[in-house]
Amino acid sequence: MDNFILHLKDGILSLKSWVINMYYTKIRRPQYRNTLKFAVITDPHYLYDPEDDPEHEDATQGSRLFWKSGGKLDHFVERINSMSDDLKCVIGLGDMIDSYNSENDTSGFFDRWDNIQIPKEMTIGNHDVAGIDDISDLESGFGYESRDKNAGSRFNQSLSIDNDFISAKIILVDTTINHEGEHNARIYGYMSESVRGWVESEIDNSNADIFFVGLHHGPHDYTLNGSDYFDEDDAKAYESMVQNRDERIITLHGHNHYKQNRIAHDNLDIIGRIAPATVERNPSYFMIVEITPNGKVIYNNSLVKY
């Protein structure tokens, strides 16, 4: 009887995957085939001490489940690698680590991140820079010490992806540098004139069909809930830059965990919701961004369980 139930379960699962496969390959309209895909993770807040220990005093903080941070990363990496034929890259939008200091052994994060088998790139957030004595510690910790500095940061980096139908450039911006050029751990983000100039040069130097700007603090959040999340002058200058360019520019950000519903798209129209912070609750999410050959962009949240 038990065997019968197991075979029945296998049969149902096989039928389910056959239906899903048929949907994507035969039924789904042609414009949704041949899409260009990448994954986005934000705010995993990896913390070593309570890893796997729900009784640890730092195991949880509100709905942040630090004790699951390693397990969730394991599951995330497993999911990404299972989709490696289909995904062009993974980007991380900061607060990858809850704090980078001598008390948080961050090797658990990097061991997992290094296991991702497709191109990957990340920028940093306020928690990554929290507690650092010297930015070079963070640069070497993240393996960025040999990168060139762009507009004052080795975490200003870009990558390009394409398929036979469409191309995209992803520009990752470090929003933790204040106007004095120093990294700081404020909840308040910056994008100084030199950084905006670098972003524009990255756009000027590319023939991509579509551009994504990925950053930790959301420039559109500068008046959110009456509290500042971004330097207002910088945010307005960025918005003006995006509005005045002919290229299609989509802004993706992390940081505020549950209010990340502002994807600026085609002159900043708000069109969708990006995945909330991976540290929050369980299950949580990462996001798959899918670009169709005719330029439609689809955002799907994907589960991370532990």
Would you tell me which residues interact with Fe ion (CB under 5 A)? 95, 125-126, 255
Distance separating alpha carbons of residues 65 and 284, to the nearest angstrom: 10
Distance separating alpha carbons of residues 192 and 152, to the nearest angstrom: 10
Those residues with Cβ within 8 angstroms of residue 248's Cβ, 6 or more apart along the chain or in another chain: 209, 210, 211, 265, 266, 295
Nearer to Fe ion among residue 106 and residue 126 (C-beta): 126
Nearer to Fe ion among residue 156 and residue 176 (C-beta): 176
Distance of closest approach, residue 220 Cβ to Fe ion, in angstroms: 15
Nearer to Fe ion among residue 118 and residue 132 (C-beta): 132
Which residue's CB atom is positioned nearest to Fe ion? 255
Distance of closest approach, residue 93 Cβ to Fe ion, in angstroms: 9
Distance of closest approach, residue 125 Cβ to Fe ion, in angstroms: 4
Rg (CA), the chain: 20
| Residue with tokens 């038990």, as numbered in its chain | 2
Nearer to Fe ion among residue 167 and residue 261 (C-beta): 261
Distance separating alpha carbons of residues 50 and 58, to the nearest angstrom: 6
Report which of 259, 284, 290, 286 is spatially closest to residue 273, judged by C-alpha positions: 259
Distance of closest approach, residue 248 Cβ to Fe ion, in angstroms: 27
Distance separating alpha carbons of residues 285 and 192, to the nearest angstrom: 31
Distance separating alpha carbons of residues 174 and 216, to the nearest angstrom: 7
Nearer to Fe ion among residue 255 and residue 262 (C-beta): 255
Nearer to Fe ion among residue 87 and residue 279 (C-beta): 279
Nearer to Fe ion among residue 188 and residue 211 (C-beta): 188
Distance of closest approach, residue 293 Cβ to Fe ion, in angstroms: 35
Distance of closest approach, residue 174 Cβ to Fe ion, in angstroms: 13
Distance of closest approach, residue 126 Cβ to Fe ion, in angstroms: 5
What are the start-end ranges of the E strands in 163-248? 167-173, 210-215
Distance of closest approach, residue 113 Cβ to Fe ion, in angstroms: 18
- Please return the burial class of 258, using the count of CB atoms within 10 Å of its CB with bins 0-12, 13-18 and 19+: exposed
- Please return the burial class of 259, using the count of CB atoms within 10 Å of its CB with bins 0-12, 13-18 and 19+: middle
Report which of 119, 213, 209, 204 is spatially closest to residue 164, judged by C-alpha positions: 209
Distance separating alpha carbons of residues 71 and 50, to the nearest angstrom: 11
State which amino acid sits at residue 234: D
Nearer to Fe ion among residue 97 and residue 291 (C-beta): 97
